[in-house]
Structure 1
C-alpha cells in the first residue's frame, strides 16, 4: 500500500499536467482542456442546431434528427478514428492529436445537446409563442429571447449529465495515444510495472472528483441565477 502511494507521489506531476514544462500538457490538465474545448464547441453548436430544428419543422428538422441519430448510434471510438484519419485528408496536414480528439468529442456531443435543447423547447407551453408573436416578436426573437432562456434553465441537469459524460469520454483518447489522464496513467504503469491497482484506483478517483466538481458547480450556478 505504501509502495503504491509512493509510485503515485513520484509520478504526480506527470499525472497532473504531463510535460507542461516542455510545452506538452498532459494528464489531468489535458483532460480538462479537451473537455472545455469540446464543450465550448458542442454547446453553442447543439443550441444552434436545436434552434434550426425548432424554427424549421419540416425537412430541415427531419434531416437534423437523422444526422443526430446516426451520430449517437455510432460508438464514439469510431468517431475518433474517423476524425484521426479523415481530418488530415481534408485539411491537407496533420492536426495535433488533442485537437483531433477534441473536435471528435464536440461533434459527437453536439448531437446530444441538440436533442436535449429541442426537448426543452418542446416542453414549454405553446401559448408563449403565440403571446410573443402577438406582442410583435418575430419567430427568431421569440426563440432567442423568450424560449431558449427558459429551456436552457430547465434542461440544465440534462446538460450537466452530457458534459460529465464528455469529461469521462476524454479517456478514449488513449486509443490514438493522446497523453490525457488515462494514457499517462497507462504509461506510468508500463514504466514501473508494479502497483497497477494503486495507479488506476488513483485515476478513477480523479475522474470521480472532477465529475463531482462539475456537478457541484452546476448546482451552485443554478441557485445563484435569477428565476426566469
Structure 2
C-alpha cells in the first residue's frame, strides 16, 4: 500500500529550505527568516524604547504626536505597512531599495509601535516613590530615568520582548507578498515547481516555525522564572 505522505520532496530540497541558494546566491529560506526577525527585533527594540520614552514626556507637543503615531501604526494591518514601505521607500529615496530592506523597515516600524507600549508599561510599573526619592537627592529627571527607573523597567520587560520577538518571527511570513525569499516564499516556490506535494511541504515549514517559536517561548518562560526568583531573594 502506498504511503499517505511522501517527504522525499523535503529531502531533495532541504538545503534550499534552510539557506536558499547561499553561498552561490542570495540567502533564503529559514536563514533569511531568522535574519529578518533578528535585525527587525534589534531595530524595533531601540525604536520602541525611544517611542515609549517620548510618549511619557510631560510636554504635550511631544507626547501627543508620538502617541498619535503609535496608535495609528498599531491600528493598521502589518501587510499594509509592508506595502507602504515597498512602494514609498523607493519613491522617497529616489532609487531601488532591496525587498528585504523594505520588509525590515516595515517590520521595524510596526513592531516598534507595539514595543513602545511594553516600554511604557514597564516604566509606569516602577513605584513612583523611587522617582520621588531620587529627585529629592538632587538628581535630574533624565538621570532618574537613565540610572534608576529604566534599568529596573528593562529587566521586567525582557519576557514581553521575547514574546514580541516570537510574534515577529511569524510576521516574517508576510514578506513573501513582496517577493522576499524567506521560508514561506521558498515553500511556495518548491510547491509551484513540483505541483504534487503541497501537504508535505507546508507541514514541514509549519514544523520549522513551531520549533523556532517554541524555543523562544521556552526562553521567555525561563526568563520569567529567573526574574521571579531574583525578586524573591
TM (norm. structure 2) is 0.91
| Residues 31 and 167 in structure 1, CA contact (< 8 A), matched pair in contact too | yes
**How many angstroms does 1:220 deviate by?**
4.2
Match of 1:60 in 2: 62
1:10-38 Cα distance to aligned partner (Å, 9 max, x none): 10000000011223000000000000110
Q: Decide which of 168, 183, 188 is 2:190's aligned counterpart.
A: 188
Q: Distance in 1 between matches of 2:162 and 2:78?
A: 19
Structure 1 unaligned blocks of 5 or more: none
Match of 1:116 in 2: 118
| Residues 52 and 61 in structure 1, CA contact (< 8 A), matched pair in contact too | yes
Q: Distance in 2 between matches of 1:84 and 1:7?
A: 32
Match of 1:146 in 2: 148
Match of 1:106 in 2: 108
Structure 2 unaligned blocks of 5 or more: none
Give the alignment of 1:124-135 within 5 angstroms: 124-135=126-137
1:16-64 Cα distance to aligned partner (Å, 9 max, x none): 0001122300000000000011011100111111112223352322211
Deviates more, 1:152-161 or 1:216-225: 216-225
| Residues 163 and 216 in structure 2, CA contact (< 8 A), matched pair in contact too | no
Q: Secondary structure at the match of 2:139?
A: coil
Q: Distance in 2 between matches of 1:57 and 1:152?
A: 23
Equivalent residue pairs, number: 228
